[in-house]
Each structure stands twice: as structure tokens, then as C-alpha cells.
Chain A
Amino acid sequence: MFALVKKLLIFLLIVFIPNLLIAKERKFNLGKIATKTEIAGWDIDVRPDGLGAPIGSGSAIIGEEVYAEQCASCHGDFGEGLDRWPELVGGEDSLDTHDPVKTTGSYWPYASTMYDYIYRAMPFGVAQSLTHDETYQVVAYLLYMNEIIEEDFVLNDKNIGKIKMPNVEGFLMPDPRPDIANISGNPCMKNCNSPTKIIGKARDIDVTPEEEKS
């Protein structure tokens, strides 16, 4: 009796274990397994909860120097934005006005995004050249300029996921579209009530690029 059960168990194992292995096996046997070192070099994203934030720290006091050297030539000494480069500071209470100003302080919902973006894409044209500490310093400086943290606050990998940004509640999900009235597929075809008075002309605004004369 015991021998029979043992045989049955062995039989079941022989039949099912390869199936379990196959389910976990690579279907096409293409590509290679990535090493931890390879992944560490490219996996640079930082999530709102702080996952992915590299070990490091910085405060606004040192950040001001790094900012002046690395950022101010485009974004201005006070984050006001030069030419058409983006403003980084200010804009509070402007989002519901005719001319909203979207800055890290007035609009960005997460401090993690500032770290992530500055490290991966800034300074413009010299991407991924800041050290982790320098990146924390610049983020701390911008948070300080936007009156979100104190000047001596030390921003680091442990607390970047806990910074509360002013506009964190400013975003709506999920997407409510289609939000228009007509999803009947049968719009008006004849004598429709549609305004036909011309109230604006692009030609009058006169910002269309002129064609070069050849």
C-alpha cells in the first residue's frame, strides 16, 4: 500500500514538475539575463513613494551654489525663467486664472519627479552629469525657493517620498472622456443651429511663420 502511494507520488512528480518548469521557462530563448550591475546603471527612476531614490543628501544652502552654476543661465537666478526656458518658482494661486503659471512649486505634485527629471535630463545637454548629492541639493534649493521646506532642511533618499507638495491634490483621475454631449452617432444634418459669425481670424493675429522666398 505504502509502495503504491510512493509510486503514485513519483509518477505525479514526473508528470507535473516539467510542466511547472516549462511554464516558467523562456518561450523563445532569446536575450540574456541582466546582471545587477547592468540594471543599477540604467534603473535611475524615482517614484513618488521614494522607491529608487539613490543614497545621498543635500540642503538649499549648498544647493544655491549648484543652482547658480548649473541652472541659472536658462532658468534665471530666482527660477523666473529666461527667454522661453521654463519658470521654476512662483505661480501660486494662478492655476484658475486666465494666465496660469505652472512651476515646480505651483503645479508639480511630487518632489520625487523633480529629483527624477533633474538627474535624468538636466542640465540641458549634459544629462546625468550631476552627482546624486548635487541633485538633492538643487531639488532642496527649488523646494526652499517655493517655500515648501526650510533653508537648512536636509533632503535625502529617506525623506524625498514624504515631501508634501502644494498641488498634490490638484489632479483628477480617471479620465472622464468622452465628456462631450453627442455620442449618439446621429448629429444634425440640415438647418442646424450653428453660429456662423466670424469672431476671429488667424490672419489678424499674424503669428504664422512667413514662407521664405526662394
Chain B
Amino acid sequence: MGKNKNKKIRLNRRQLLVGTASLSAIAFTSRISNSQETNPNNLPPNVPEWTSELGVGVDANPYGMPSEYENNVIRRNVEWLTASTESSVNFTPIQDLEGIVTPNGLCFERHHGGVSVINPRDYRLMINGLVDREMIFTLDDLKRFPQTNKFYFLECAANGGMEWKGSQLNGCQYTFGMVHNVQYTGVKLSDLILETGLKSKAKWVLAEGSDSSGMTRSIPIEKILDDCIIAWAMNGEALRPEQGYPARLVVPGWEGNMWVKWLRRLEFGDMPYMTREETSKYTDLLPDGKARMFTWVMDAKSVVTSPSPEKSILHKGIHQLRGLAWSGRGKIKRVDVSLDGGKNWQTAKLHDPVMSKSLARFTLPFEWNGQELLVQSRAIDETNYVQPTINELQKLRGVNSIYHNNSIATWKVNKDGTVDNVRLG
């Protein structure tokens, strides 16, 4: 015991020197990092405290949380974007995530009237309009229907919306983070309507939330019967309140605004309802002043999550480039990566599982020896659609569309390993 103490005191002097040196190295290379000094006491041949002492017991955290050293892996918002946090958005830290599953607490939030707090006993889903029987279901009722379990990405149509006119936000999180990917548990709407029946005139469904914005969107009946779900669970546990607890609509591959949270009502009708969201908001303005309406599908898209503006390169030598790809039209077939701004491309490795309308993970090993790089990724989906450049999209749609920017981003790796969001032309 006494011997160990002496060893610690002796090493603490060394730690001061080494610690100072490594701190300045981190400050130089990493703009956003959870910087922690290395403590030589914990390194071989020494035995660290966590080895010699007992840790906390079970139940110290009845609901477990990430390591305190991961406290920079959080959702973030851009305050100047909106007038209030109740009607606002934040972003998933995709640059810090691996694989394809987004942890529930990191799924980006988009609210129009804040987060409703609903006692599940008071939850009711009403189905009315052009059905044989207008009905009301409790949450327990919904859970007694045949169950489905599916992975789907959810992307806000405005993801990347700030980048139409130029590179504006210097972050992977801020430019691509309005997306998440979880496994949903719920009932298919095609099963639910076996209970209510459907009149032949029913062509549209109005989905309505019970939040303070009364969120509403019109959805064509073909989509409703194809693959839409009323979900009550995500990644194995109940929906988080900010994701629509206790039940939300899942509209696979289509823009996130349609995935009505805190779902209270489905009305079947013979024409679209032309709600505020689908007329004044989620319509895509073209240069001639006309706007595209009912642009529901999220086209194929990909992004390199590391290196990225938040993920500087810290060492020379071998690295694993990481990224995510997804398509609202089906499976990702291939992802190409360029390190020279789109002149030359190589095909990245796609990791299993690659599922329809779900995020897919790709990686590519590369060497870095201090040179400048212009990093891009390009997704190709099973319909053979190739993710476009921003110049291609601008030619067709101008710069005032706000929504559906699925273009290729460029990350410039500087000589010091820092990374910038840049626009090429």
C-alpha cells in the first residue's frame, strides 16, 4: 500500500509535464472535443485506480446513462434559426455515432408546439370519416393487434436546408443531423383498418397530432396501406416523449413532417386537406415563383461523418473514413468516396445489414500524410438513382427550395488536420 502511494507521488510530477504537452496538442488539432488529460498513473506498467478499487454496485443508475467522458455527444440546436425552442429543431450528433442505430436520447427533435406529456391511460386514437365504423382505440387496444418490427430512417425535409445558397454551417451535425434511424414496433395501418373498414371513396388520410400545434398532414391511401405504421416503441423501449409518446405515425422513406407525433386522429377523406404544413411550409419554391407541392419521398443521400468539421484528423497514417447513406426509395446499392473533390472515386465498403429505407453504414480506409483533401461521398440506391451535386440541384431548382437538398457535401481537410465545410464551383 505504502509502496503504491510513493509510486503515485513520484509519477504525478511526470504527469504534469506530459499532461501539459498533450493538452496543447489536443487544443491545436481538435476544435470540438471532450479533451481529457492522459494520466500516466493509469498507463502500463502502473495499475489504475479502477482496477485496484471497487466500482459502484448495480442499481447505481437504474436507467443507465453514457460514460461521463461522452458528455459531448449530445443533440444541439442553432438558436438563431427559430423564434422559440417550442417551435424549433435540434440535430443528431451523427459524427459521433457508429453503426446504423441512433440511440433514443440522441434522435433529433422537431416540435411545433413543444413536447406534449401524455398519460398513456388517457391516450386515445380516433378514426373517422370515410370508414365503415368510426372508432376509438386505447393504447392497449393498439398493442393487441398483430405486431410489426422495422428499422426506418426519419429525415426532416429541411435537412441541409441552410446550405442551398452556399456552405453556411461548419458542422456535420448542423448540416446533416436532422436524421435518425431506429427500430419501430407498432401496428400496420393496413391491419388497423380491418377493424374500421374502409369506404371505396376514401383516397386520403388526414393524420393529426394531439400536441399544441395540432400537427396535420394529408397522406394518400396507397401509402397508408403500403407500409405505414402506428408505432409505440423505438429501439425496444417506449417512444421517448419528444418522439411522440405514447404513439406516432411512421411513414417510411417520406419526409419527417408527415410522421405525426402524439397521434390522436386519422380521418379518411376523398381529397387532400391542404393543411398549413403541406401548403405554406413543406412546398419547394422554384426560381419562377411556382412551388412544388406534395414532394414526399426523401431521395438518396450520404455524408462522411468522419473526417468532418467536428472530427479533425489527429494522426498521420492509416484512418477509417466513416459515413452514412440512405434512400426513401429503397435500399442503398453502393456508396463511392472521393478524396479530391469528385475527380476520382473509389467504392466504399457497405456494412450489413443494408435495409430498405434505413440508414446504411459505409467505411473506407485511407492514408493521411498531412496533405489537403476534398472529401465527398455519393450514394446510389437500388433504383440506380445517383446522389447529385449541389450544382445539379441548383440548376433545376434554384436556391430557394429550402427542402429536399440531398446533394453531395464537400469536407476540406486542411494541412493541420482540421476540417471545413466548403462549396466547390
Contact = CB atoms under 8 A, between A and B. Distances in A.
Interface of A: 24, 26-34, 38-39, 42-45, 47-49, 74, 83-85, 95-96, 98, 100, 102, 104, 107-110, 112-113, 116-117, 120-121, 124-125, 127-128, 170-192, 194-203, 205, 207-209, 211, 214
A171 B309 contact: no
Interface string B331-370: 0010010001111111000000000000000000000000
B318 interface: no
B386 A32 contact: no
B225 interface: no
Interface stretch (B41-49, B54-62, B75-83, B235-243): B75-83
A42 B309 contact: no
Given A43-B267, A178-B299, A28 B144 contact: yes
A180 B379 CA distance: 14
B297 A31 contact: no
B384 to A, nearest CB: 3
A180 B46 CA distance: 60
B136 interface: yes
Contacts of B83: 74, 83-85
Contacts of A209: 76-79, 174
Nearest to A49: B271
18 contacts: A28-B194, A28-B195, A34-B135, A42-B126, A48-B273, A48-B274, A113-B276, A121-B212, A124-B113, A175-B296, A182-B386, A185-B386, A189-B346, A194-B342, A195-B424, A201-B421, A202-B170, A207-B169
- Using C-beta atoms within 8 Å of the partner chain, give the interface range for chain B: 35 or more
B174 A208 contact: yes
A69 B133 CA distance: 42
Given A187-B386, A195-B391, A208-B169, 13 more contacts: A27-B194, A27-B195, A29-B195, A34-B126, A43-B267, A100-B285, A113-B276, A117-B275, A175-B292, A178-B299, A195-B424, A198-B412, A202-B168
B22 interface: no
Interface of B: 31-32, 71-72, 76-80, 82-84, 86-87, 112-113, 126-128, 132-138, 141, 144-145, 166-171, 174, 194-195, 197, 206, 208, 212-214, 216, 264-265, 267, 269, 271, 273-276, 279-280, 283, 285-297, 299, 309, 333, 336, 340-346, 374, 378, 380, 383-386, 388-389, 391-393, 396-397, 400, 404, 412, 420-425
Contacts of A183: 383-386
A20 to B, nearest CB: 13
Contacts of B166: 199-200, 205
A113 B144 contact: no
A187 B213 contact: no
Given A109-B274, A190-B344, A208-B169, A34 B420 contact: no
Contact of A121 (B80, B113, B397): B113
